[in-house]
Amino acid sequence: MPRHVTHVPLRWADMDAFAHVNNVVYLRYLQEARVDMLFVHAPRHGAEQLAEGVVVARHEVGYRAPLQFRAGAVRVETWVSAIGNASFTLGYEVLDVNGDGERVVYAVASTVLVPYDLEDARPRRVSDEERLVLESFLETDGPLPGRSAA
Amino acid sequence: MPRHVTHVPLRWADMDAFAHVNNVVYLRYLQEARVDMLFVHAPRHGAEQLAEGVVVARHEVGYRAPLQFRAGAVRVETWVSAIGNASFTLGYEVLDVNGDGERVVYAVASTVLVPYDLEDARPRRVSDEERLVLESFLETDGPLPGRSAA
Amino acid sequence: MPRHVTHVPLRWADMDAFAHVNNVVYLRYLQEARVDMLFVHAPRHGAEQLAEGVVVARHEVGYRAPLQFRAGAVRVETWVSAIGNASFTLGYEVLDVNGDGERVVYAVASTVLVPYDLEDARPRRVSDEERLVLESFLETDGPLPGRSAA
Amino acid sequence: MPRHVTHVPLRWADMDAFAHVNNVVYLRYLQEARVDMLFVHAPRHGAEQLAEGVVVARHEVGYRAPLQFRAGAVRVETWVSAIGNASFTLGYEVLDVNGDGERVVYAVASTVLVPYDLEDARPRRVSDEERLVLESFLETDGPLPGRSAA
């Protein structure tokens, strides 16, 4: 299945004292990619409710290489790695594709999202309509953020 | 072992469109707690190198309850959950302790850190001196961010 | 008249690639000081409406000296520099007071605020009650951000 | 003279509790436009030193209309409003151009910049070469952030 691709422009203020994009900033890049996929693109394909309310239950981010600050955007590829009854999981890679087509991966991440009924203020099940849209992005064998090891 | 306690003041700008502290902001709170523990307190106890260079290899954050914006600080408790040869893992709870002494936990998180030799620009082993300081914060049965499930 | 004093803790992420607090971050420090004065302290003295709605019409910030990153808070002193019929102006100094009592000023700033009626969605006049509270912070001869010169 | 045009993508995290781009975020948009003009485009035209070091001495921002959050970028137009011996001033408008070609201006701003000699750690004069580049963006009758009034 094709991954959803978002180009997230870096901001000067994303840079830390080591001239790298600071580790805390990556969650903002993932948020941009997620909002772009779920709020901008998914509703066009019939899953309006996804845009109305999902709650972040969990993030994992595995850092692979430092992202030196430079002008321009970084590529974020997003897919659906799992679909449960009352939650689903996104996978992401933050990367550059250089001139030779080589992929330089800065981070691999995942987010567990819970559909939420804003009126009743409680979690709800993934609807059949949403499941169809999410399945169109399903990639169950994508990379994982990595072990929790020490 | 006692956990390291940091009170991180909320900022107005931490609040999102739902008047909650946005999920991306938690990594900043963890960063404040981590810097406070490793850079401010650890060197006093003999682990100066920890303050010189550690690289974040991985973050996990499990969100437990929404943190409504309000004036004042939130409590972050930090401990060491594992010590390896070339990395160690911090655990955190972000919480309030209310009037009755009840703990309201907003997030449980962990970070894998890799000691880094800035001169040689490569990872290095945890030194004996550092291990002693880290062991003083060791809590191997603390709460975990949670399952990666969907 | 006494100035309102807020201690705003620096965050690691406030630091830019030169290990200074980046110029864009100062508006966040002013926001913390302003919210502390208007939302936390002013309502106790009878100006509840100030906490309900004011709109920022204008900021000026004059940078005086670089603020090197360090652990701890920076002092923000806030006062009211002018009160009009439908707006009022705050003045601020961002500074440290060092051991000898010497003041090291990093920035002088001002903000024009417009009281706003959220129900009618339009600006409103400063009420008599608000004027009394604002006058208690009035300092008309405080420092100014400086000339607009080139 | 033509203004320099930068399209700055909004980020979800720029939104405040009123679903507007918060006033403190505008300085980040101006920073993106400034870096784009001085660091990316100016060096191509012979003013390499501008990219090496300028210090922000002063910002003024006049807010004209609330910027509701939406996907996509906002337009920032940047010009040079004054050139002195040891400083120069940029003017900016933050705006949308809608379908009819109508300009909806959210903010008018200015920044005084001081060329800085990083080796000697002190301000320096604007060079002839820099003056030529800056003059190519000169617009002395552009809009101003507005009065400092209360």
Over residues D117-136, mean pLDDT: 89
pLDDT at site D149: 40
- Other beta carbons less than 10 A from residue D24's beta carbon: 23
Confidence of residue B42 (pLDDT cuts 50, 70, 90): confident
List, for residues B71-82, the tens digit of each pLDDT value: 889 999 999 999
**Chain A, nearest residue to D36 by Cα:** A71
- DSSP state, residue D2: P
Q: Is the ipTM, as predicted for this complex, more than 0.85?
A: yes
**D-chain residues within 8 Å CB-CB of A9?**
8-9
Q: Which chains touch B (3 or more CB pairs under 8 A)?
A: A, C, D
User: B22 near B14, Cβ under 8 Å?
Assistant: yes
**Higher pLDDT, residue A58 or C70:** A58
H or E, element range at D109:
strand D103-117
Interchain proximity A36–D71, CB inside 8 Å: yes
* D71 reaches A (C-beta below 8 A): yes
Phi–psi pair at D26, nearest 5 degrees: -55, -35
Query: How close is the nearest chain A Cα to the Cα of B102, in Å?
Result: 22
Over residues B111-135, mean pLDDT: 90
Interchain proximity C71–B40, CB inside 8 Å: yes
Over residues A91-116, mean pLDDT: 96
Measured CA to CA, the distance from residue D13 to residue A101 in angstroms comes to: 31
Interchain proximity B15–D15, CB inside 8 Å: no
**A-chain residues within 8 Å CB-CB of D28?**
11-13
* D87 reaches C (C-beta below 8 A): yes
Q: Minimum mean pLDDT among A42-46, A134-138, B117-121, D71-75: which range?
A: A42-46
H or E, element range at B77:
strand B73-83
Dihedral, A132, A75, C20, C91 alpha carbons, nearest 10 = -50
User: D59 near D111, Cβ under 8 Å?
Assistant: yes
- Other beta carbons less than 10 A from residue C116's beta carbon: 15
Q: Which chains touch C (3 or more CB pairs under 8 A)?
A: A, B, D
Confidence of residue B51 (pLDDT cuts 50, 70, 90): low
H or E, element range at D113:
strand D103-117
Report the residue of C11, C15, C26, C56 to disrupt the B interface, i.e. the one with the largest count of B CBs within 10 Å: C11
* B28 reaches C (C-beta below 8 A): yes
* B40 reaches C (C-beta below 8 A): yes
Domains recognised in chain B with CATH numbers: 4-135 (3.10.129.10)
**B-chain residues within 8 Å CB-CB of D15?**
16-17
User: D14 near D72, Cβ under 8 Å?
Assistant: no
Query: How close is the nearest chain A Cα to the Cα of D10, in Å?
Result: 9
User: B145 near B109, Cβ under 8 Å?
Assistant: yes
User: C137 near C80, Cβ under 8 Å?
Assistant: yes
* C23 reaches D (C-beta below 8 A): yes
Interchain proximity A59–B59, CB inside 8 Å: yes
Measured CA to CA, the distance from residue A76 to residue B25 in angstroms comes to: 20
Measured CA to CA, the distance from residue C108 to residue C3 in angstroms comes to: 14
The closest alpha carbon to D149, from C17, C82, A91, belongs to C82
Choose the closest CB to A32 out of D12, D32, D40: D12
Measured CA to CA, the distance from residue C18 to residue A114 in angstroms comes to: 40
CA C52 to chain centre: 17
> What does the buried/exposed string (b/e) look like for A95-128 if buried means 16 or more CB atoms within 10 Å of the residue's CB?
bbeeeeeeeebbbbbbbbbbbeeeeeeeeeebee
pLDDT at site D51: 66
Measured CA to CA, the distance from residue B39 to residue B31 in angstroms comes to: 11
* C24 reaches A (C-beta below 8 A): yes
User: A115 near A52, Cβ under 8 Å?
Assistant: no
Number of Cβ pairs < 8 A linking chain B and chain C? 29
Choose the closest CB to D11 out of A12, A28, A71: A28
pLDDT at site C121: 82
- DSSP state, residue C41: I
Length of chain B: 150
Confidence of residue B150 (pLDDT cuts 50, 70, 90): very low
**C-chain residues within 8 Å CB-CB of B21?**
none
Interchain proximity C13–B28, CB inside 8 Å: yes
Over residues B98-112, mean pLDDT: 95
* B19 reaches D (C-beta below 8 A): yes
List, for residues D36-49, the tens digit of each pLDDT value: 898 877 777 767 77
Measured CA to CA, the distance from residue D27 to residue D60 in angstroms comes to: 10
**Higher pLDDT, residue D52 or C16:** C16
List, for residues D63-110, the tens digit of each pLDDT value: 999 999 888 899 999 999 999 999 999 999 999 999 899 999 999 999
Interchain proximity B31–C12, CB inside 8 Å: yes
pLDDT at site C75: 97
Confidence of residue D148 (pLDDT cuts 50, 70, 90): very low
Structural Rg of chain D based on CA atoms: 16
pLDDT in tens, chain C (150 residues): 689 999 999 998 898 878 899 999 999 999 999 988 987 777 777 677 776 688 999 999 999 999 998 888 999 999 999 999 999 999 999 999 998 999 999 999 999 999 988 788 899 999 998 899 899 999 999 999 985 444
Length of chain C: 150
pLDDT at site C147: 54
Choose the closest CB to A28 out of D13, D40, D71: D13
